[in-house]
Amino acid sequence: MNPGLFSLQGKVALVTGANTGLGQGIAVGLAQAGADIVAVGRSAPDETAEMVRKAGRELHAIRADLGSTGPLAGVVEEAFAAAGQVDILVNNAGVIRRADSLDFTEEDWDAVMDTNLKTVFFLSQAVARRWVAAGRGGKIINVVSMLSFQGGIRVPSYTASKSGLAGLTKLLCNEWAGKGINVNAIAPGYFATNNTEALRADEGRSREILGRIPAGRWGDPSDLAGAAVFLASGASDYMHGAIVPVDGGWLAR
């Protein structure tokens, strides 16, 4: 097998939410495979930038709140202008709100759906329009969830958004595969990030979760790097609409 299949040398990846957690793990993994990074988020990705530069690649940071579609046109314009091109889009930025469904508020519903689903679609649309106009393809990687397959508890808008994003991955595959655009998704299991801090702090819940994971541990953001590099590289050119679980075996139980 040609190891160059997995090389991202000369590529540029736009990664949302790359300042911490899963987005950082993905961005650093892509950089280690040869890609320069455009990192989009609400805060400066200083730590990620340092890790990317240690991998020998460049990072351009764009400050934007992806809780609405307002900044998207400017984000795409700056990304292409700064990097010269974008070859890979990783839709990772997301938020979560926890409350019993009997008490869940419309404000929390909208905040999650807007960030996790609406903005993802319109950012993907904006980037894909550039690719189609240029007569070239690209790679889109959506970050979904175990709750794209399961219901979960006390996270109704998160479950709805990630289930919707799994469906959107397949819809965009159907429309764009023939245009040379690969749209796939990664479904992380239970990872040690800010989003799971409340779960890990709950001794009983944490014990229940770990008891179901065959690997016996919470995931580390770096565990996503391999799947992300694969879906971003030429090795996955015939993969369209796939959802790849990276879950320590959670779904196998």
| Catalytic residue list | 158
| Distance of alpha carbon 134 from alpha carbon 176, whole angstroms | 14
Asked if 217 and 250 touch (Cβ cutoff 8 Å), the reply is: no
Domain boundaries, the chain: 3-246
Class of domain 3-246: alpha beta
pLDDT of residue 1: 56
Please report the pLDDT score of residue 194 as a whole number.
Answer: 83
Percent of the chain surpassing pLDDT 90: 94
CB 221 within 8 A of CB 194: no
Model confidence pLDDT, tens digit, residues 130-187: 999 999 999 999 999 999 999 999 999 999 999 999 999 999 999 999 999 999 999 9
Backbone angles phi, psi at 228, to 5 degrees: -65, -45
Q: Give the helix ranges, DSSP H, for the chain.
A: 21-32, 46-54, 72-83, 106-113, 119-133, 156-176, 197-201, 203-212, 225-232
Q: What is the pLDDT of residues 32-41, one digit of tens each?
A: 999 999 999 9
Using the predicted structure, report yes or no on whether residue 197 has a pLDDT greater than 90.
no
Instruction: Tell me the pTM.
Output: 0.96
pLDDT at 2 over 90: no
